Every structure is written in structure tokens, then in C-alpha cells.
């Protein structure tokens, strides 16, 4: 390189430090790429760490422990004087979030990743501007990753006030547990909060526009969750249209049309809007690029590169990909590995696991039975209920099942759908089978340790051939 050549200061500049951004940055550092992250907030970790995956799972764990205490008598424990110290629960949640945010800072230092606070904007090939407190500076980088994430959508005429009408952010900071809660939306975020507050004694009602709860899951999983939730006392209205919300000092009143078109109203102390997430790409400089976008989502190729060479998009802003932390992480890894000139594999949508941490938990991957049939496969399914699994009985959690969707001729596994104990953990085997393109016969010969909840997977694969042992 001759003196005077325009040398880019960084190999990679990453806008956003959520799971897509921070994982990409660490891997880029490991691969020897000079890397800088621009983050608008004064802390690292994004939605996932601060107001998404991690704080919700802390609350779900606390709800789970509380449920065990409530069921103490069945297990032979006399529990008296059981009380919830909500302030302590929130403090523990905040401590865990802070610890992990510091952990990311540590990993950045370890991998020589720099970071800068400010609003990052793509300014054309090799340039990113960073704006903070009215001051603007420019970073030069050969490659730019836009990983700016998403925010909660609201409904027309229903704007969150964060006191009575809440989003995933404000519901994490409630000073008290509400007595009544309406959750609008029965996707992963909605059903997780419904589960948390139902355990803590809130009277919860779910309103969902589509015909079933967790609508992206296999139909049998939705039906099982519906049944389990109604048994816990959670009221569910599906195929209903929310029309408006009125507030007074004490409560919110929601008006909606139920599935028969009948006008109804419901009152509650709080309302949670969980109707999906929109990409945060406005004012990020995409208009200065050739990147193709639709409703704020960005189209990419198999290396996560947009139509603008050197500009990559990762995570919740990517068109056609699920908005999940682990999807964002792998997309970031693929992009920086490609930038480092090393071979990568594309992120395949049907190999991304879904984990929903409601009670009962849901874990799924691959095609649902309907999707497999619609795709033209001759489909063969098997199903194994946890009632036949001894460890599930020991855990006192034997509701639910594992459903395997396979292709009839060669027994290729197309999808696995789990609802029940440790579903999000035993999903690990399902992800391995799909990624390694295993067959029912491969999996029927795999030895599963006994007694584990995991061994129910063996029975589920065998059930496709009618050879399950334990039911
Ligand atoms: C309640 C809830 C629970 C969830 N639970 C799970 C779960 O259990 N498992 C799971 O896989 N997923 C879960 N998700 C989804 C997950 O949080 C997202 O898929 C994930 O955070 C997306 O990562 P990201 O890096 O694309 O974006 P984000 O995590 O949203 O991070 C984007 C970052 O970019 C920053 N930023 C934005 N614009 C700029 C700019 N112009 N300049 C500088 N910085 C900018 C933001 O401040 C933020 O830090 C949950 C989401 C919610 C809301």
C-alpha cells in the first residue's frame, strides 16, 4: 500500500449492538478484522438483553419457581406465608441484565472491538456517520453491517402511554403486579407475558385476530396451548378484531368484535400490545444506497449482503426472516465470515429453531404438517405424549407431546413440534436432526439417556413407524 492511498480505518463498522451486532463484532474480532460498533444507547445488548429475551426469561423463571411453591402440597411440602416481593424480582432481573451488558463490554475488549455511542447512519460506500449531542463524526470502514433491530408495533388509534397501555418495554417496569391484564396478540411475546402474569395471580385475557394462539406453530401445538391456558384460567378470544381502547384513571376498556361478529367490551387494569414488531431502519441512510427494502425490511443475499456492495443487513430488519435473537446471531456470523474471505453456509429459514417459554413451553423447527403437505410432500407424522415419559412424571409436568413431521418414502425429518416440559431444551436434538438432514431411522437408532425428558424424542421418532415403546 502506497503512502497517500485512502485506507479505510476499519474493516467492519456495525450499526447496532443487539445479538446480531455484538455477535458479529466478536466473531469479526476473532477473525482479525478491525471492528467498530456504533450504538445509540449508552449500553450494549439491544432489545434481546434489555427488554426482550433475557428479562422475560428471568420473570418466567421466577413465575416457574412460584408455581412450584404453589404446588408444594402435591410434592409433600407444607408451604405457608408465601408472598411475592415484586421489587426484589425486578431488582434481580435488572442485575442479570446489567451483568450481561458488562459481559459484552468485556468480550469486546478481549477481541479488540471498539464501540462508540451515537446514532449511526450509512453515508455511502465505506462511510458511517455517528451523531451524538449535535456533534457528527465519520467512520471509514470497508464493510458496514446495519443491525438496527425492531420496535413494538401499535394498532391504529391505540398508542401506548406506558402506564395503562403497555409494550414489551413498559410492562417490564410495572411497580406492582396488575390484578387484571388484557394481552392483545397471541404470538410468542403475548403468550409469554400471559404466562408470567397468570402465574403471579393476574386475571389474564388474550385477544388474537387470527383463528388460533401461537399462529406460526403447528395447528396441534396451538390447540394444546389453548387447552392448557384455559385450564389455568386464561381467557382467550381468537378471530377477534380490536376496535378501540378507552381509558379512565382506573382501567382500560377494550371494544372488539368477537369471532361471530358480536360487539364486546372488556375492562382491565392494564393492556399489553403484543401485535408484532416493525424494523427500525428509518433515518439509517438506506436511501443513500441501492439496498432493496419493503416496509422497512431489507433484502439480502446468502451472505447477508444487500444490493449495495459492502452493505450488509442482519437481524430483525431482514426481509423474510424470523425476528429471533439466535437467527440474528448466525446471520451476523455469516456476514463477517464472508467478509473475512472464509467459507460460510447460508442461513436456512426452516432450520431456525423457535422457542417460546410460556408454560407449557413450546419448541419447534422445520415445517408444520400443513406446510409440509402444502409443499407437496407425502407426509407421515408421529406423536408421543409426555404422559408416557417417566422423567416428565417425576417433574409433575406430563402435559403436552412431541410431534414429528416426516416425508414418507425415505423418512426424512421435515419438522419437529414440541409442547411440554423442557421443550426449549430438548429442541437441541430436533435442530441437530434438521441441520444434519437425518431420517427417522437414524434417530430411532440413537440412544437417549434414561430417565430424561429428552428420551421422549426417541419415542416420538419411533411413533412415525408405530414403534413407540412407552404408550
Ligand atoms: C419481549 C420480547 C421477548 C423476546 N424473546 C426472545 C427469545 O426468547 N428468543 C429469541 O430468539 N428472540 C426473542 N425476542 C426477539 C429478539 O429480541 C430479537 O429478535 C433480537 O433482539 C434482534 O436482534 P437485532 O440485533 O436484530 O436487534 P436489537 O436487539 O433490536 O438491537 C438493535 C440495536 O441497534 C441499536 N440501534 C438502532 N438504530 C441505531 C442507529 N441508527 N444507530 C445506533 N444504534 C442503533 C438499538 O439501540 C439496539 O441496541 C424477543 C423480543 C421481545 C420484544
Task: Find out whether the beta carbon of 38 lies less than 6 Å from any atom of ligand 1.
Answer: yes
Assigned C-alpha cell, 323: 425476528
Do 113 and 37 touch, CB atoms closer than 8 A?
A: yes
- Is there an atom of ligand 1 within 6 Å of 17 CB? yes
pLDDT at 204 over 80: yes
Position 8 confidence tier, pLDDT thresholds 50, 70, 90: low
What is the mean predicted confidence (pLDDT) over 128-156?
A: 97
Cα 153 to ligand 1 centroid, rounded to whole Å: 14
pLDDT tens-digit series, residues 80-95: 999 999 999 999 999 9
Q: How deeply is 245 buried, as exposed, middle or buried, from its count of CB atoms within 10 A (0-12, 13-18, 19+)? A: buried
Q: Does ligand 1 have an atom closer than 6 angstroms to the CB of 120?
A: yes
Mean pLDDT of 25-53: 98
324 lines ligand 1 (CB under 6 A): yes
Residue 4 phi, psi dihedral angles, 5° rounding: 100, -15
The pick from 37, 46, 160, 313 for probing ligand 1's pocket by mutation, whose C-beta has the most ligand atoms within 8 angstroms, reads 46
Could you give the angle at which helices 325-339 and 19-30 cross, rounded to 10 degrees? Answer: 30
199 lines ligand 1 (CB under 6 A): no
Of 172, 149, 166, the residue nearest 274 (C-alpha): 166
All three cell numbers of 218, joined, read: 403447528
Express each pLDDT in 231-262 by its tens digit: 999 999 999 999 999 999 999 999 999 999 99
Residue 157 confidence class, pLDDT cut points 50, 70, 90: confident
Could you read off the pLDDT of 451-460 as tens digits, one per residue? 999 999 999 9
Q: Is 450 a catalytic residue?
A: yes
Residue 254: predicted pLDDT: 97
- Please give the C-alpha separations between residue 174 and each of 86, 228, 242, in angstroms, as whole numbers: 9, 26, 24
Question: Pick from 358, 364, 353: which is nearest to 219 by CA?
Answer: 364
Calpha distance 185→209 (Å, rounded): 7
Cα(437) to ligand 1 centroid in Å equals 30
Of the listed 62, 100, 398, 450, which one is catalytic? Answer: 450
Choose the residue to mutate in 18, 191, 317 for probing ligand 1, maximizing ligand atoms within 8 Å of C-beta: 18
Residue 316 Cα to ligand 1 middle (Å): 7
Q: Which of 358, 171, 150, 200 is nearest to 273 (CA)?
A: 171
Distance of CA 352 to CAs 68, 96, 443, Å? 31, 26, 19
Q: Is the CB of 366 under 6 A from ligand 1?
A: no
Taking CA atoms only, the protein residue closest to ligand 1 atom 5 is 53
pTM: 0.96
Any ligand 1 atom below 6 A from CB of 292? no
Q: Is 43 exposed, middle or buried (0-12, 13-18, 19+ CB in 10 A)?
A: middle
87, burial (CB in 10 Å: exposed 0-12, middle 13-18, buried 19+): exposed
User: Which atom of ligand 1 approaches the CA of 314 most closely?
Assistant: 26
* Nearest atom within ligand 1 for CA of residue 357: 8
Please tell me the distance between residue 47's alpha carbon and the centre of ligand 1 in angstroms: 3
Q: Rounded to a whole number, what is the largest CA-CA distance in the chain?
A: 79
pLDDT tens digits for range 96-115: 999 999 999 999 999 999 99
How far apart are the C-alpha atoms of 163 and 128, rounded to whole Å?
Answer: 37
Average pLDDT over residues 24-47: 98
CA distance 202 to 179: 5
Percent of the chain past pLDDT 90, that is, above it, reads 98
Cβ–ligand 1 contact at 44 (below 6 Å): no
For 100, 359, 386, the CA distances from 453, given in Å and listed in that order, are 29, 16, 8
pLDDT in tens, 213-230: 999 999 999 999 999 999
DSSP-assigned letters across all residues of 28-72: HHHTT--EEEEESSSSSSHHHHHHSHHHHHHHHHHHHHHHHHHTG
What is d(CA 171, CA 192) in angstroms, rounded to the nearest whole number?
A: 12
Amino acid at each position: 500500500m502506497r503512502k497517500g492511498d485512502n485506507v479505510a480505518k476499519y474493516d467492519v463498522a456495525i450499526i447496532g449492538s443487539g445479538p446480531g451486532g455484538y455477535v458479529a463484532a466478536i466473531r469479526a474480532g476473532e477473525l482479525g478484522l478491525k471492528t467498530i460498533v456504533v450504538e445509540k444507547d449508552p449500553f450494549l445488548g439491544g432489545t434481546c438483553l434489555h427488554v426482550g429475551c433475557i428479562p422475560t426469561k428471568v420473570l418466567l423463571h421466577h413465575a416457574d419457581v412460584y408455581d412450584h411453591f404453589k404446588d408444594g402440597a402435591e410434592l409433600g411440602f407444607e408451604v405457608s406465608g408465601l408472598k411475592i416481593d415484586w421489587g426484589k424480582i425486578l431488582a434481580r432481573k435488572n442485575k442479570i441484565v446489567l451483568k450481561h451488558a458488562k459481559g459484552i463490554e468485556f468480550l469486546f475488549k478481549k477481541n479488540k472491538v471498539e464501540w462508540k455511542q451515537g446514532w449511526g447512519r450509512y453515508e455511502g460506500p465505506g462511510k458511517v456517520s455517528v451523531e451524538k449531542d449535535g456533534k457528527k463524526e465519520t467512520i471509514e470502514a470497508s464493510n458496514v453491517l446495519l443491525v438496527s433491530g425492531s420496535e413494538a408495533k401499535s394498532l391504529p388509534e391505540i398508542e401506548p402511554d406506558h402506564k395503562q397501555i403497555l409494550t414489551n418495554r413498559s410492562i417490564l417496569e410495572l411497580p406492582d403486579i396488575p390484578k387484571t391484564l388484557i394481552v392483545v396478540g397471541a404470538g410468542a411475546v403475548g403468550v409469554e407475558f400471559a404466562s408470567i402474569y397468570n402465574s403471579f395471580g393476574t386475571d389474564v385475557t388474550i385477544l388474537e385476530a387470527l383463528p388460533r394462539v401461537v399462529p406460526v406453530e403447528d395447528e396441534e401445538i396451538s390447540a394444546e396451548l389453548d387447552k392448557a391456558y384455559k385450564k389455568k384460567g386464561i381467557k382467550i378470544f381468537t378471530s377477534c378484531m380490536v376496535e378501540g381502547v378507552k381509558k379512565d384513571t382506573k382501567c382500560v376498556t377494550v371494544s372488539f368484535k368477537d369471532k361471530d361478529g358480536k360487539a364486546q367490551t372488556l375492562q382491565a387494569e392494564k393492556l399489553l400490545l403484543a401485535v408484532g414488531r416493525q424494523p427500525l431502519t428509518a433515518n439509517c441512510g438506506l436511501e443513500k444506497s441501492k439496498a432493496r427494502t419493503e416496509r422497512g425490511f431489507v433484502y439480502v443475499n446468502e451472505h447477508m449482503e444487500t444490493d449495495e456492495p459492502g452493505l450488509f443487513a442482519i437481524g430483525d430488519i431482514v426481509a423474510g426472516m424470523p425476528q429471533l435473537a439466535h437467527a440474528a446471531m448466525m446471520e451476523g456470523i455469516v456476514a463477517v465470515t464472508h467478509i473475512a474471505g472464509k467459507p460460510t453456509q447460508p442461513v436456512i429459514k426452516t432450520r431456525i429453531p423457535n422457542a417460546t417459554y410460556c408454560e407449557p413451553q413450546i419448541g419447534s423447527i422445520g415445517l408444520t404438517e400443513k406446510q409440509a403437505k402444502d409443499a407437496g410432500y407425502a407426509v407421515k407424522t408421529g406423536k408421543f405424549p409426555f404422559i408416557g415419559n417417566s422423567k416428565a412424571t417425576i417433574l409433575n409436568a406430563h402435559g403436552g407431546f412431541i410431534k414429528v413431521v416426516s416425508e414418507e418414502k425415505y423418512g426424512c425429518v421435515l419438522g419437529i413440534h414440541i409442547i411440554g416440559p423442557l421443550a426449549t431444551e430438548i429442541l437441541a436434538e430436533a435442530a441437530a436432526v434438521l441441520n444434519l438432514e437425518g431420517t427417522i431411522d437414524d434417530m430411532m437408532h440413537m440412544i437417549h439417556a434414561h430417565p430424561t425428558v429428552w428420551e421422549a424424542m426417541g419415542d416420538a421418532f419411533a411413533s412415525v413407524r408405530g414403534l413407540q415403546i412407552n404408550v
